[in-house]
Amino acid sequence: MPRPRLLLLFLSHLFGFISIIAGQGRPNIIIILSDDQGWGDVGFNGATDIPTPHLDRLARDGTIFRAGYATHPYCSPSRAGLMAGRYQQRFGHENNTPYGHDDPEAGLPLDQTMLSEVLQAHGYATAAIGKWHLGDFPKFWPNQRGFDYWYGMYGGGMSYWGDQSAKSPPMDRILRNGEPVPFDEITYLTDDFTAEAVGFIEREKNNPFFIYLAYNAPHGPIHATRDYLDDTEHIEDGKRAAYGGLVVGLDQGVGRVVRKLKDEGLYNNTLIFYYSDNGAMRNGASSHPFRGFKGMLFEGGIRVPFSITWGDRFLAGAILDEPVSALDIFPTTLAAAGIEPPEELALEGLDLTPMLTGQSTSLPARELYWRVSGGAGYAVRQGDYKLVHSIFKPEPFLFNLRTDPYEHVNLAAAMPEKFSELNELYAAWNQHNVEPKWEDPHFANRDNEVEGRESHIRKAMAGEKK
- The residues annotated with a catalytic role in the active site are 75, 133
Q: What's the CA gap between 280 and 36, in Å, rounded?
A: 5
- In terms of Cβ atoms closer than 10 Å to its own Cβ (0-12, 13-18, 19+), residue 414 is exposed
Dihedrals phi, psi of 270, to nearest 5 degrees: -125, 120
- Phi, psi angles (nearest 5°) of residue 251: -60, -45
**3-state SS track over the chain:** CCHHHHHHCHHHHHHHHHHHHHHHCCCEEEEEEECCCCHHHCHHHCCCCCCCHHHHHHHHCCEEECCEECCCCCHHHHHHHHHHCCCHHHCCCCCCCCCCCCCCCCECCCCCCCHHHHHHHCCCEEEEEEECCCECCHHHCHHHCCCCEEEEECCCCCCCCCCCCCCCCCCCCCEECCEECCHHHCCCHHHHHHHHHHHHHHHHCCCCEEEEEECCCCCCCCCCCHHHHHCCCCCCCHHHHHHHHHHHHHHHHHHHHHHHHHHCCCHHHEEEEEEECCCCCCCCCCCCCCCCCCCCCCHHHHECCEEEECCCCCCCCEEECCCEEHHHHHHHHHHHCCCCCCHHHCCCCCCCHHHHCCCCCCCCCCEEEEEEHHHCEEEEEECCEEEEECCCCCCCEEEECCCCCCCCCCCCCCCHHHHHHHHHHHHHHHCCCCCCCCCCCCCCHHHHHHHHHHHHHHHHHCCCCC
Peptide bond between residue 323 and the one before it cis (omega within 30 degrees of 0): no
> Residue 276: beta bridge partners?
34
Question: Residue 91 is which amino acid?
Answer: F
Residue from 173, 86, 168 nearest 132 by CA: 173
Kindly report the backbone phi and psi dihedral angles of residue 239, in degrees, each rounded to the nearest multiple of 5, phi listed first.
Answer: -60, -45
Do the beta carbons of residue 29 and residue 290 sit within 8 Å? no
